[in-house]
Structure 1
Amino acid sequence: MSRRTRDGSVAPSVFSMENEPSDRTILVAVDFGTTYSGLAWAQTRRPDHQTTIASWPYANSRGLEGRTSDKVPTELRYKDQGYEWGFQIDDEGPRHQWFKLELDPSQSNVISDIARQFPARNALPPGYNADVKKLVTDYLTALREHAERFLQLKLPQAALRSTAIEYIITAPAVWSDAAQAKTRECAERAGMGRGDRLQIISEPEAAAIYTLDALDPHNVKIGDTFVLCDAGGGTVDLISYTVSALKPMLSVDEAASGTGSLCGSTYLNRIFEQYVIARFGENDGWDDEVIEDASKRFEELTKRRFTGNPDETFSIPVPGLMDNAKQGVQRGKFIINGDEIAQIFKPVLKEIIKLVRGQIAATSRDVKAVLLVGGFGESVYLRESLRRALGSDIEILVPANSWTAVVRGALMKGLARTNPSLNQLQVHSRRARKHYGSEWSIAYDSNIHSRSRRRWSNYHGSYRITVMHWYIKKGEPVREEETTSFHYYIHNLVSEGPPQRLSVPIAASIDPENTGAPMYWSDGVKELVKLKTDLSFIPEESIDRRTGEDGELYYNCSYDVEMTNYSASTKYQVVYKGVRYNSVEAEYI
């Protein structure tokens, strides 16, 4: 179903055709998660039939049979020939886990104390025997191939051959522009399409689309603010929205920038493992099978059913351990009570409650409800713990199918793009997470500028100074598909020939202390992306000429760089004399 190109990437699906009808497309949404990933699909001609894929290959199987689950583990294990992925990997032995996070090293600050204190037992170290882009590309390839095998069983072959498949993939809202670009690159190499045929959508936005659509519209008013908490296996991500319009569709604005940390439900498993090892690790009969079986029962049953009742008890298998009445081991099992389970939950819940309170404070508004999604979001104990911590004035709402809220919302957004009448919710604006701008040459003013930074310009016949010009400032609302123009001039001596190539650095400043956008390029300003484009296509005679103050003749080339912001991606174009050129190479730093 796929073929390798000369550069080693995977060519797009053979189902895609260049001249397919625009009203007949299969959309496949991909929730590429830290610990689990999901798939959903629909046909644009039947948008009301939206389906999640819940069957996955298991053990040595490469077909659809084997395991039923709403999601599949985000794991890889390389073998002599090829690799195993997801449920194909058995419970024992090392495997590549959590490699998604390596796409964005800039998010190292979200590593919580819990993540440092409770490392994974079976995870291979970051970068072990594989480049992160290879890991992500191989895993996304496995997801794509599985989706297409699934579609082959559900749809007639003739329909598949004549219908394009387009993919929508999700990415964290807090990721850097470079990480979002790497996600797109890996998805393209995995055969999920290129350019406009591959959409990147932020995870919390996708979850919000699904969740807010599921709310009672009669209970939503303009000005209502919601905090969305996506509590997954590895990460817990939060973002806030305020309702700005109800008609013609529900519109929301970001009320606070996204936050998150590594404090998902996987850490419950790790804390439990340390608990079991500390309690029974010295017992007769202890081996790896004991911890594997105990952890599997905790993961699949105990932590999911625990409600916080101290009188609850759960039986945990510890096969092979000798009976020990003092420790409560009898016939290869022991009983864990509610108080002990609550202590396992305690450090994780403490971190999540801290994140939620921080997000509520960042909105500077009265928050109506916390919308809880994700696999961990289905935990009764987490829900009740948040209710106690936040008080009765803030509702805790959990929609149906919360574990698959992200992939369902991503599919809904993809369908709305093909048919605007299907759009149920619009994220009207997002908060800029950084200052964005570039250097700008202006006239030197001794009352404002640093004397040491001035320079003489032969063209202008005066002193000039280079300062930062911030086109977007941190915290400002940025609208969906809104274009920001960066204006530039090139003054080249005609005697040196016309400009052949542009190289434009776009800068960003995170401004963690919120001291304001700096005037000069300083330690707090980093190069975000370098835009390169070929200007040789511009006829020399069309370039304006002007005589400088030094009497020399200069090319005076005026152009704009347009930056268009999408949910989790950015598009750049060069505009020269009203003509837009797409041939811009964006090299993220």
Structure 2
Amino acid sequence: MGDSLRHFVIGVDFGTTFSSVSVLAQRTRAAKVDPDKIISISNYPSSTVEYSQAPKEVPTESWYPRRLPQRPSLNRSADEYDEDSSEESSDSDVSIKSESSYESVSDEESESDSSDGSTESGSTESDDSTVANTVDYMDEDNGAIDRYYWGYTVSQKLSEPDISMELSRRIARSKLLLDLSEHTRYIRQLLKNTVNDLCRGKLVRDETDVIADYLAHLFLHTKSQMSVAYQYNEACPVEFVLTVPAMWTERARRIMQNAMTRALRDSGFIRGIRYDIDNLFIVTEPEAAATYVLATTDEILPNDCFILLDAGGGTVDAITYKVRKLRPLRLEREEVEPAGALCGSSYLNEAFERVISERLKKETYLERDNVKIEGIVNDLVQQFETKHKRHIDIYSRLLESEHFFIQGLLPSQGKKFRHNRLYLDQEDLKDIFKPCLEGVSNLMFSQMEQARAKGVTVKKVILIGGFAASPSLVSHLQRRLERYHRMNSKKVELIRATVPGCAVAHGAILRALEKEDGPERRLRSSYGLLRTEPYQPDIVRAHIGKYPWTDPLDGSKYIKNTIEWIVNKGDLLPSGTRIIRPVTHTFPVSPDEPFLCKEVFYVSDKHHDSNYRRNHPKNKGATEEGHIIVDMSYLKKDPSFKPVVPGPGEKGQPHYLVEYDLVIIVDGRNLRFVAHPQGQDGAIKGERRISIAAAFQPGTD
């Protein structure tokens, strides 16, 4: 690498209502950096100066067009190459042998894997990408451009009173698809209904696409800004750091990891379908935020117990931590159940919308030239979001009424209308803000009370998240904590991050630079291979009572579609671990049939016993994670490679026996699958790299 190349660390905070990306560019990698050297990506499409300065967060919203170019199949099922559909083809089975060649393998897949990760034609990461925005269509109803919108472009469209875009194709709060909390159940179901509608319209293939499409646009914009600010090019090494909620499951983290991989392919950060995101580092949002606060203040001390209050746009979460070590910062969770509530800043918008909708519902004279009351309300909500709510402090003695321009609005004293203007007075604003503010403080005090009951003394509350920038929220919490101090003689300090909306993404970078002394590399997921095993009921318990399949080529009996779990949940998995599995495949003697072999990988968040079929109850929860295509056709040109001919009285028919070693290599937070001819480590005939970052506790190096 030349001296002119920069190394980039990119922190990604995918939020419920707003997301942010932070970037650190270094010519020489250093573990210690000034937080001021980290920049926030800004200049988002359709963002304006109405946001007081170039916004450093972007709405986590998207809007799908009525049609999109067809996407490639996910090809996630192994059923396409199973030869039987009976119970024999149960849940999982790779093998030291495979049943035959695979006619379904495409030309692109069958090419010998290169080691440089170059782009393949027909793959999902071509230069033009499959990002859901590359084609504009004209809406037949109103002549508007119908395309994929994201971020502020959605807000811009919502602010057009005559827009007739269908809300059924709008996605908001998509992060909650991965949140299994009880308090998000209702919103999660609404989201799933929308995703199902998009799937039926062939706009997305699954919920991962919804997240990946948004991230792809976010990363394309990030790449563009990096190119302008730092002359980024594809030769520059990039490390990605993903922040996740502390309570997410392994499955949720894995879906997010897969969405990241799809998005990075579509945005050109990853070149090649054989390669997932390289050594992704995952850290929890609270730890990232605390790392940033520690780097910018001296108010956190060893053994401090504090509540991390993450006040975002949708959910507000409260988690109690103790500082185990200061430098590098390492936290440990106290035995207090984390809690969350739907009282984030976006619910201020909903409360505002209810108030003005009620006042305007009978002002039908405003509807003209395709402008509807609903469109006027949407426009006012966007004005409230961008121009008003961020500076309102309902506790300020200087609090004034807010007014909103509506062309043609007639005066009404009872509704607080004047010519062309709707007014919200101090009481209106308090009615809009108070429920959310009380929700946040109630959550905070509930966490404090649980901590007290466990014998934990909380001395600080660290406030982060986009809502933390609200003067009303800060004033409200300070007032409540002061009253708590007066009533209980216990002082609890409120600490607010200097850039609350970007603290998580900034802190993610700082945490990634100090990976030492993190959690041990203990797996929270299991990884296995699909096998076809020799039928051995006297030796293998899982084979007892199972009906074997007879290979017509070699005449031997096998149990198809079993899973051999190579590494299991709970295992310690040091980087550098190598696991070798000999593999055999049989092929008929045919001059035209290539020796294409397919090995399939499975993942599960449970601990499993090996040798059971893929669909066996003992493999419940196992899902396909990927595959590798191994092209051994070069053997056809080897004069010493001869068909196997059954001897007199032996079953079977002449066939080729193809053998190679499948080497599984633990490379940091990657798992590499490499196929070598037996005894020839240097000759790679197939390669695949998958990310296993989500299988470790966040913060694991």
Maintained 8 Å contact 1:54/1:68: yes
2:503 aligns with 405
Residue 341 (str. 1) matches residue 413 (str. 2) = no
| Larger strand share, 1 or 2 | 1
SS in 1 for 2:38: strand
Q: Distance in 2 between matches of 1:179 and 1:162?
A: 24
Q: Distance in 2 between matches of 1:41 and 1:143?
A: 13
Q: Distance in 1 between matches of 2:203 and 2:310?
A: 29
Would the alpha carbon gap of residues 350 and 471 (structure 1) be closer, same or farther in structure 2, given more than 3 Å must change?
A: farther
- Scaled by the length of structure 2, the TM-score of the pair is 0.56
Taking the TM superposition and a 5 Å limit, the aligned residue runs for 1:137-176 are 142-143=217-218, 146-147=221-222, 150=225, 154=229, 164=236, 166=238, 168=240, 170=242, 172=244, 174=248, 175-176=252-253
Which amino acid in the other structure matches residue 584 of structure 1? R
Residue 295 (str. 1) matches residue 388 (str. 2) = no
Deviation at 1:55, TM superposition (A): 3.5
Maintained 8 Å contact 2:339/2:447: no
Q: Distance in 2 between matches of 1:455 and 1:355?
A: 59
Would the alpha carbon gap of residues 70 and 112 (structure 1) be closer, same or farther in structure 2, given more than 3 Å must change?
A: same
Deviation at 1:527, TM superposition (A): 1.8
- Scaled by the length of structure 1, the TM-score of the pair is 0.64
Q: Distance in 2 between matches of 1:394 and 1:189?
A: 47
Deviations 1:46-99 (A, max 9, x none): 86432224444447x9x9x99622223344566547766544534234486546
Deviations 1:478-518 (A, max 9, x none): 78x84676675657789999x973524323146xxxxx878
Would the alpha carbon gap of residues 358 and 505 (structure 1) be closer, same or farther in structure 2, given more than 3 Å must change?
A: farther
Deviation at 1:186, TM superposition (A): 1.7
Taking the TM superposition and a 5 Å limit, the aligned residue runs for 1:264-413 are 264-283=344-363, 287-288=373-374, 290-292=376-378, 294-296=380-382, 298-300=384-386, 303-304=389-390, 309=395, 315-318=401-404, 319=406, 321-330=409-418, 332-337=422-427, 340-342=431-433, 344-345=435-436, 349=440, 371-379=462-470, 381=473, 384=477, 397-412=495-510
Which amino acid in the other structure matches residue 687 of structure 2? S
Q: Distance in 1 between matches of 2:455 and 2:598?
A: 43
Q: Distance in 1 between matches of 2:180 and 2:148?
A: 28
Q: Distance in 1 between matches of 2:620 and 2:289?
A: 33
Would the alpha carbon gap of residues 138 and 196 (structure 1) be closer, same or farther in structure 2, given more than 3 Å must change?
A: closer
Question: 1:184 is matched with which residue: 255, 258, 261?
Answer: 261
SS in 2 for 1:164: coil
Q: Distance in 2 between matches of 1:389 and 1:321?
A: 46
Q: Distance in 2 between matches of 1:500 and 1:401?
A: 54
Q: Distance in 1 between matches of 2:265 and 2:53?
A: 28
2:38 aligns with 50
Q: Distance in 2 between matches of 1:459 and 1:212?
A: 67
Which amino acid in the other structure matches residue 422 of structure 2? G
Deviations 1:199-253 (A, max 9, x none): 64446254444234335387124xx666645433245567776655456x33456
Q: Distance in 2 between matches of 1:259 and 1:434?
A: 25
In our comparison, the structure showing a higher alpha carbon Rg is: 2
Which amino acid in the other structure matches residue 271 of structure 1? A
Q: Distance in 2 between matches of 1:55 and 1:448?
A: 62
Q: Percent of pairs identical after alignment?
A: 20
SS in 2 for 1:341: helix
Deviations 1:366-396 (A, max 9, x none): 8775543220233453772996999969765
Taking the TM superposition and a 5 Å limit, the aligned residue runs for 1:247-262 are 249-252=328-331
Q: Distance in 2 between matches of 1:456 and 1:150?
A: 57
Deviations 1:139-160 (A, max 9, x none): 55654554565456656xxx66
Question: 1:35 is matched with which residue: 11, 14, 17?
Answer: 17
Q: Distance in 1 between matches of 2:455 and 2:578?
A: 31
Maintained 8 Å contact 1:28/1:41: yes
- The alignment of Structure 1 onto Structure 2 pairs a total of residues equal to 533
Deviation at 1:477, TM superposition (A): 9.3
Deviation at 1:451, TM superposition (A): 5.9
Taking the TM superposition and a 5 Å limit, the aligned residue runs for 1:444-483 are 452=545, 471-473=567-569, 482=575
Question: 2:184 is matched with which residue: 94, 112, 129?
Answer: 112
Taking the TM superposition and a 5 Å limit, the aligned residue runs for 1:95-110 are 98=171, 101=174, 107=179
1:210 aligns with 292
1:561 aligns with 664
Deviation at 1:307, TM superposition (A): 6.0
Residue 584 (str. 1) matches residue 688 (str. 2) = yes
Maintained 8 Å contact 2:9/2:24: yes
Taking the TM superposition and a 5 Å limit, the aligned residue runs for 1:475-514 are 482=575, 488=581, 490=583, 501=597, 503-509=599-605
Deviation at 1:583, TM superposition (A): 0.8
Q: Which ranges of structure 2 fall in alignment gaps of 5 or more residues?
A: 66-135, 138-144, 367-372, 642-649, 652-656, 693-701
Q: Distance in 1 between matches of 2:556 and 2:341?
A: 51
1:15 aligns with none
Would the alpha carbon gap of residues 502 and 165 (structure 1) be closer, same or farther in structure 2, given more than 3 Å must change?
A: closer
Which amino acid in the other structure matches residue 498 of structure 2? A
Mean CA deviation greater in 174-183 or 188-197: 188-197
Mean CA deviation greater in 277-286 or 186-195: 277-286
Maintained 8 Å contact 2:14/2:243: yes
Deviations 1:458-484 (A, max 9, x none): 999999x979858443xx5978x8467
Would the alpha carbon gap of residues 409 and 450 (structure 1) be closer, same or farther in structure 2, given more than 3 Å must change?
A: same
Q: Distance in 1 between matches of 2:58 and 2:39?
A: 16
Would the alpha carbon gap of residues 342 and 71 (structure 1) be closer, same or farther in structure 2, given more than 3 Å must change?
A: closer
SS in 2 for 1:402: coil
1:14 aligns with none
Deviations 1:389-412 (A, max 9, x none): 999697654321110113323444
Would the alpha carbon gap of residues 84 and 517 (structure 1) be closer, same or farther in structure 2, given more than 3 Å must change?
A: closer
Would the alpha carbon gap of residues 494 and 71 (structure 1) be closer, same or farther in structure 2, given more than 3 Å must change?
A: closer
Q: Distance in 1 between matches of 2:299 and 2:667?
A: 31
Q: Which has the higher contact order (CA 8 A, sep 6+)?
A: 2
